[in-house]
Structure 1
Amino acid sequence: MKHAPLITLALLTPCSVHAQDNAGGPAPTIIVTGTGLGQPPGAPAYGSVEIDRARLVDNAPGRIENLLADVAGFQQFRRSDSRSSNPSNQGATLRALGGNASSRTLVLLDGVPVADPFFGYIPFSAIVPDRLSSVRVTRGGGIGPFGAGAVAGTIELSSATRDALPAFSASAFTGSRDATEVAASITPDLGNGYASLSGRWDRGDGFQTTPRSQRVSATTPAAYESWSANLRAVAPLSASAEVQFRATLFEDRRTLRFRGADSMSQGQDASIRLVSRGPWQVDALAYLQARNFSNIVISATSFRKSLDQRNTPSTGIGGKLELRPPVGADHVLRIGADTRFAQGDMMEDAYNANLAANPLTARRHAGGKQVTTGLFVEDDWTPPAFDGRLVLTAGARADHWSISDASFRSVGPTGVVTSTSNFPDRSDWAFSGRAGALYRVNEALSLRAAAYSGFRLPTLNELYRPFVVFPITTQANAALKPEKLKGAEAGLELHPAKGVDLAATLFVNRLDNAIANVTVAPNTRQRQNVDAVLARGIELTASAALTPHLSLSASYAYSHSKVDAPGTALDGLAPAQSPRHSASATAMWTVENVFSLSGTVRYVGRQYEDDLQTDTLPDALTVDGFARFPIGRTVSLIGRAENIFDARVVTRNAGGSIDLGTPRTLWIGVRIGG
């Protein structure tokens, strides 16, 4: 038959499909990867740490934010994970540049920014680790595509590719405090492509975040319930081009500290991506985010409702176009544009919690819009005279940003307007760039150096939404300026023996106009721009495959951070929520990818809750464990243990009012097909 049907599906490199073309000869090979364009040759000049799929699948907590702590220097605003933290606290940062509930690190999933358009937090509970193929963490500011916001680094999450996804997989766990976790996925082949539908649901009665000595009748455990569903489809358009589609739905509900202190976050995200690997390489994507958040604040003295942040709808729309034209074997040129639009509104009701009737006192509304549009160019040059041992890279961005249609309005219980403000529109240009060099001295030693700059707009949350965490009230500030970072680093990578990799990086970063919660009166703070946060330190990583079955990995970060604000009370102090020392180490023993044992030790040093260094969070050392035993051809019995020795982890300390992190938590369950 002249036009033979396809008999082999090309689902992932190096798998391929050969068809007969109309002339009877072989057609081009069709390769479907489900990934973006490859890393350019200059990317290693900026240094990065990768978390591989084996670690993402086999781990104790089963939560992406805990796994990111494998990279020393990663932190959230609080030490809590996504089961026992207010979602709006889940900002991600690196290099101890100061605690902030909005992310200073750009987090991408398959090239799409995932931060909430209003708050800037990361919906960690909706990101399931075993649906990823890898996580790449680059500490240090600046990136070409979607570069705005990457002042502390970039976290790139990549979806699992077809070869890592069985046709069907499922898991079910039961854990301490009546916790349950259930997940399943199906991944059928569709023509020359594939689709993957997955979901996860988990719940638990939660643990007491309040120390025993501070509990009252209204104190309640941190109960949680969340679910997420994800559809991803990949299809070829030609032998060198493919289209990728993703849709994610999620909802997360939590109760923190007091009965009735309930929060809810939800989202509906979708993206479509075109990747072409022809002579002109193309990476084009567009995305849409619809998010919402609600939160009830309970008074810590009367235990009545003081605030109902009943509705915070937000929308994010964006896209990027990256082109890599054929400019010769010695150069990889990237040019393109990206844009992001964010709109959000806060609607909340305030109550008099001191009266038994708990009457309404005010209805408040605030909101605004933000648009950032950037152009970028970057070139990686491999001079032929050095036989591929030297790579030079340099790039620049120009971003135009605007903040508009911003307002605040407060209405009394009778409907009378008590306060109204319409904030002036603002816009400006921001210019940033980066340059680096990588020199491979020999097979055992590589040297690298880089310098970079970047910027981050204040989020709508920072600009317009105040919040209360008893006994502290934090005011918004509509006049906040963008943060701007300048940094430099130098490092080396050693490969002293087969399977052994060592790396060290020295860095210095300066974050000008750093947004911080600044004390302005007793129990009152305001978001303000401080002159700068200066961070310098060293980062060490190591990995070793000691035997075919035993591997070790470790990471350590020393970050000496201080506020540079001459003439203020903050000058010379450490930024809030910034530990000087952090470390993580994991040992893993596997046999033929079916039997696995691992243990992880993590340490985080002392840090301060507040800007004036009056409230201390002590250091903490935790140990986790994981075991997987095959009980059938595709079925495994799994045991997981978090904080095995029940270490006390203080996550908040406001004048002695303390919250605690995850205590000892044990899980037992089964996994099918994965």
Structure 2
Amino acid sequence: MTGPAAPSRPLAAPLRRRAHVLRGIGVCFRLALLLPGIAAAQVEAPSSEGTQDRDEAGAPVSAESTPAEPEAPAETRTVVTATRLPRPLRDVPATTVVIPRDEIERSPTLTQDALVRTLPSAATFRRTPSLVADPTAQGLNLRGLAPSGVARGLVLLDGLPVNDPYGGWVFWRALPRLGLDRIEVVPTGGSALYGSAALGGVVQLISQPIVGVIDADVSVGNQGTGFFGARIADRWKRVGISLEAEGLTSDGYRIVPADQRGSIDANTPSKHLTGQARVEVQATDDLLLTARASLFRETQNGGTRYTVASVDLAWFTGSARLRTQDTGTFELGLYGRTQHFAQNRARVSADRDYEIRSAFQDVPANDQGGSLVWTGPNLTLGGTHVLAAGVDARRAAGTAQELLFPATYTPTSIYARTTRGTQLSGGLFVQDLYTVSSALEFAGTLRWDVWRNRDGYQLESRSDGYTTATDFAPRTAGQLSPRLAARLRPLDWLTLRASVYRAFRAPTLNELYRPFQVGTVLTAANPDLDAERLWGTEAGVETLGPGGLIGRITGFWNVLDAPVTNVTLATPLPDGTTRQRQNLGQARVRGVELGTDWRPARQWTVLAAYTFVDPVVTDAPGQPDLVGRQLPQDPRHRGSLSVTFDEPSLLTATAQLRVVGPQYEDDLNARGMGGAAIVDLFVSRHLFWKVAAFAAVENLFDRSYLAGRAGVDTLAPPFQARVGLRLRDGFNERFSAAERGVPVH
């Protein structure tokens, strides 16, 4: 059943703007279907906030001067995330994994977080997808580095951060899928280039270039699932415009197991709506300007009347890239966001036949930030040097307003709490990418960050009318983050990589000031939290074999000092809180990654990957029982295998196996959750013109396994199936760049 939506601020104006955007997309879509012949081709334009390819000598190459080509072999793809410079994938000195556009198209997954989780080294906090999970449980985790609701990995969209400014989690459904060109994952400490949020690595979503195209997906499935997405883009001489919108609705499923379910337990319905507009202007041959505006609305029900959450988000970005003949390239990026998160919490009887509202939280937040990065021209000194330097800054502010409904009112019962704070952060870095020869390359990076927490305040109101106001003292801290990486290719088929790094993560406003509840477990905030700090190293081997066979093995060792962890308290607090966020001593996370890409024939692709992680608490002052325990929500074993057959004249099919090992819900390792093996399928066939039919199934054999055990057990998604139609029309492919008026350098 659905419950009443949580109160929120008036949203009439944003909703009207979203409606106008959707109507505009619909009109453009219909016109393009009626007039497919009027559009003309153009070659690939520069990516929006993106990157610039370079020739073998390292000189910039205009993206417009190179016609669009089929998906490049994995070893020749250009990536940018690991070094903030465009480099061929096999030349990058740090481990980088790419999910290209064709794999995104063929994936059986429905949501972006589920897509990223098909890589064994990437996960979100819990096993439930964003389709049914509260956004605060969707923190990104890479290589098992102490999972939590707060992400220990940075998520970028075309170079700019999308992590929540208040809590650090990720609104995955706010990231449209049709416009993605690829996803780059760098699962290693990235603070030397990106600062605090990149403690455990970086996931970057890179948009497709703006060329004439119409994309549309529509599908329906069981559990009342319906999806619609559309994207239209075109370019008029030096101006390119892209409009994109997605809508998703689902009735969800009964998330509580049948043997624990009570009369209050129902499905987990949700609705998601996102829209974005992107504009590129090639002001001159050397100056590219871009702007983006995104809107997002989400409502979710956790399965009972009083477990409702909603999000409203508006995000705006702008960037400029200037190339100069003698001094290199300058890239400026600016962004701003305002959002509103609201959540109800419930108090549930032991038999789950009765619930009452226990709390309501209203959390408005906003942030503003920017970065300026300079990439110098090639310098020759004992080889080739490419220098880069950058500076960035961010301001994040938020307020958590709570109404509390105690089980028993006493004169000292707290019925209202308001906390707020502001965090200022910034850093600067310098990097030298030193190519000694085609066989040997070094990358040295050094970054200094400073952050300051200020305006921290808490006001608590009691039933007897007494109020307590607390001002938290401002705190300032800094961190030096070095990284040194090397890539050696003694033979053309053999590449060796190694790196050593230091990274950190400053606590978020959410961890400092906002208490939260999952199931029946209450966790308190902690305004005295310090930053987490990480020392790590990795080393790996990559080989190229016959028939396009690529094999990779990477070992890693990370030591995380003072991780922010939800620690079980020896004595509950007066309000019943049993856990609190604390900096918990030290944890060691070591492991190995294996990966294979194989194309035995033109139609066949085989991808396999496995990650083993050994995450153990090694020091826990005041909590000796935790030493030697496995970190919660962190399975030791994760693996995936996918086989794709792609013959356009016949069909495209992907079979995917995902395996996740046992893990624990809690820090004491008292509540275990078993492993699972899940099979997914995707099949599509061309029907006519540019239209194809497809079917997708997740959890084909309806494997039942646990997602969480926070007071009450919860289930991961059961069998999910959907069928739909897909339109892909690159209507500009029939004309040349000159005919379209695209500037060619």
TM-score (norm 2): 0.83
How far did residue 167 of structure 1 move? Answer: 2.8
Matched ranges for 1:223-238 at <5 A: 223-238=269-284
Give the counterpart of 2:86 among 39, 58, 61.
39
- 2:129 corresponds to 1:77: no
Aligned to 1:407: 457
Aligned to 2:429: 376
- 2:481 corresponds to 1:448: no
Please say if residues 517 and 526 of structure 1, whose CA atoms lie closer than 8 Å, have aligned partners that are also in contact. Answer: yes
Matched ranges for 1:143-542 at <5 A: 143-162=191-210, 167-279=213-325, 280-301=328-349, 302-309=354-361, 311-329=362-380, 330-353=384-407, 362-383=415-436, 386=437, 388-412=438-462, 416-521=465-570, 524-542=578-596
Give the counterpart of 1:672 among 712, 723, 727.
727
Matches of 1:408 and 1:13, distance apart in 2: 47
Matches of 2:41 and 2:111, distance apart in 1: 36
Aligned to 1:639: 695
Rate the CA distance shift 1:187–1:32 in 2: closer, same or farther, 3 A. Answer: farther
Rate the CA distance shift 1:483–1:13 in 2: closer, same or farther, 3 A. Answer: closer
Q: Which amino acid counterpart does residue 485 of structure 1 have in structure 2?
A: L
Matches of 1:469 and 1:30, distance apart in 2: 48
- The CA deviation string for residues 277-323 of structure 1, in whole angstroms up to 9 with x for no partner, is 444112210000111111111211140111111x2111111111110
How far did residue 144 of structure 1 move? Answer: 4.7
**Which consecutive residues of structure 1, in runs of 5 or more, have no partner in the other structure?**
1-6, 15-27
What secondary structure sits across from 1:47 in the alignment? Answer: coil
Please say if residues 9 and 193 of structure 1, whose CA atoms lie closer than 8 Å, have aligned partners that are also in contact. Answer: no
What secondary structure sits across from 1:526 in the alignment? Answer: strand
Matches of 1:130 and 1:585, distance apart in 2: 24
Please say if residues 231 and 242 of structure 2, whose CA atoms lie closer than 8 Å, have aligned partners that are also in contact. Answer: yes
**Which consecutive residues of structure 2, in runs of 5 or more, have no partner in the other structure?**
1-39, 48-60, 69-78, 730-745
- The CA deviation string for residues 611-661 of structure 1, in whole angstroms up to 9 with x for no partner, is 000001111111110011111111111101010000112111135x21001
Rate the CA distance shift 1:354–1:261 in 2: closer, same or farther, 3 A. Answer: farther
Matches of 2:468 and 2:341, distance apart in 1: 24
Please say if residues 9 and 191 of structure 1, whose CA atoms lie closer than 8 Å, have aligned partners that are also in contact. Answer: no
Q: Which amino acid counterpart does residue 68 of structure 1 have in structure 2?
A: V
Q: Which amino acid counterpart does residue 546 of structure 2 have in structure 1?
A: A
What secondary structure sits across from 2:204 in the alignment? Answer: strand
What secondary structure sits across from 2:198 in the alignment? Answer: coil
How far did residue 531 of structure 1 move? Answer: 1.2
Matches of 2:423 and 2:159, distance apart in 1: 20
Q: Which amino acid counterpart does residue 110 of structure 1 have in structure 2?
A: D
Please say if residues 41 and 380 of structure 1, whose CA atoms lie closer than 8 Å, have aligned partners that are also in contact. Answer: no
What secondary structure sits across from 2:594 in the alignment? Answer: strand
Q: Which amino acid counterpart does residue 197 of structure 2 have in structure 1?
A: G
Please say if residues 547 and 600 of structure 2, whose CA atoms lie closer than 8 Å, have aligned partners that are also in contact. Answer: no
Matches of 1:102 and 1:143, distance apart in 2: 16
How far did residue 168 of structure 1 move? Answer: 2.1
CA RMSD of aligned residues (A): 2.2
How far did residue 669 of structure 1 move? Answer: 0.8
- The CA deviation string for residues 553-576 of structure 1, in whole angstroms up to 9 with x for no partner, is 111100111012155221111111
What secondary structure sits across from 2:563 in the alignment? Answer: strand
Matches of 2:193 and 2:177, distance apart in 1: 24
How far did residue 413 of structure 1 move? Answer: 5.1
Matches of 2:185 and 2:661, distance apart in 1: 21
Give the counterpart of 2:138 among 90, 98, 105.
90
Aligned to 1:587: 643
Matches of 2:649 and 2:392, distance apart in 1: 41
**Structure richer in helix, relative to its length:** 2
Please say if residues 398 and 509 of structure 2, whose CA atoms lie closer than 8 Å, have aligned partners that are also in contact. Answer: yes
Please say if residues 236 and 242 of structure 1, whose CA atoms lie closer than 8 Å, have aligned partners that are also in contact. Answer: yes
Give the counterpart of 1:12 among 22, 45, 49.
45
**Aligned-residue identity in percent:** 28
Q: Aligned residue pairs: how many?
A: 643
Q: Which amino acid counterpart does residue 225 of structure 1 have in structure 2?
A: K
- 2:653 corresponds to 1:597: yes
Aligned to 2:683: 627
Rate the CA distance shift 1:587–1:277 in 2: closer, same or farther, 3 A. Answer: farther
Give the counterpart of 1:107 among 148, 151, 155.
155
Aligned to 2:34: none
Q: Which range moved further: 286-295 or 269-278?
A: 269-278
Please say if residues 551 and 587 of structure 1, whose CA atoms lie closer than 8 Å, have aligned partners that are also in contact. Answer: yes
Rate the CA distance shift 1:173–1:41 in 2: closer, same or farther, 3 A. Answer: closer
Please say if residues 238 and 283 of structure 2, whose CA atoms lie closer than 8 Å, have aligned partners that are also in contact. Answer: no
Please say if residues 188 and 201 of structure 2, whose CA atoms lie closer than 8 Å, have aligned partners that are also in contact. Answer: yes
Matches of 1:103 and 1:64, distance apart in 2: 15
How far did residue 40 of structure 1 move? Answer: 4.8
Rate the CA distance shift 1:8–1:658 in 2: closer, same or farther, 3 A. Answer: closer
Rate the CA distance shift 1:534–1:180 in 2: closer, same or farther, 3 A. Answer: same
What secondary structure sits across from 1:185 in the alignment? Answer: strand
Please say if residues 276 and 292 of structure 2, whose CA atoms lie closer than 8 Å, have aligned partners that are also in contact. Answer: yes
Matches of 2:540 and 2:332, distance apart in 1: 33
Matches of 1:99 and 1:649, distance apart in 2: 19
Please say if residues 251 and 267 of structure 2, whose CA atoms lie closer than 8 Å, have aligned partners that are also in contact. Answer: yes
Matches of 1:64 and 1:343, distance apart in 2: 27
Q: Which range moved further: 77-86 or 515-524?
A: 515-524
Please say if residues 210 and 235 of structure 2, whose CA atoms lie closer than 8 Å, have aligned partners that are also in contact. Answer: no
What secondary structure sits across from 2:379 in the alignment? Answer: coil
Matches of 2:111 and 2:369, distance apart in 1: 27
Matches of 2:96 and 2:649, distance apart in 1: 26
Rate the CA distance shift 1:29–1:585 in 2: closer, same or farther, 3 A. Answer: closer
How far did residue 372 of structure 1 move? Answer: 1.0
How far did residue 177 of structure 1 move? Answer: 1.7
Matches of 2:707 and 2:619, distance apart in 1: 27
- The CA deviation string for residues 404-452 of structure 1, in whole angstroms up to 9 with x for no partner, is 00011112357x3432211100002211110011011111101111001
Matches of 2:474 and 2:251, distance apart in 1: 46
What secondary structure sits across from 1:118 in the alignment? Answer: coil
Aligned to 2:97: 49
Please say if residues 580 and 607 of structure 1, whose CA atoms lie closer than 8 Å, have aligned partners that are also in contact. Answer: yes
- 2:186 corresponds to 1:138: yes
What secondary structure sits across from 2:178 in the alignment? Answer: helix
Matches of 1:246 and 1:420, distance apart in 2: 41
How far did residue 243 of structure 1 move? Answer: 1.2
Matches of 1:524 and 1:425, distance apart in 2: 27
- The CA deviation string for residues 89-113 of structure 1, in whole angstroms up to 9 with x for no partner, is 1100111121211110011110111
Give the counterpart of 1:564 among 604, 612, 618.
618
Matches of 1:367 and 1:463, distance apart in 2: 9
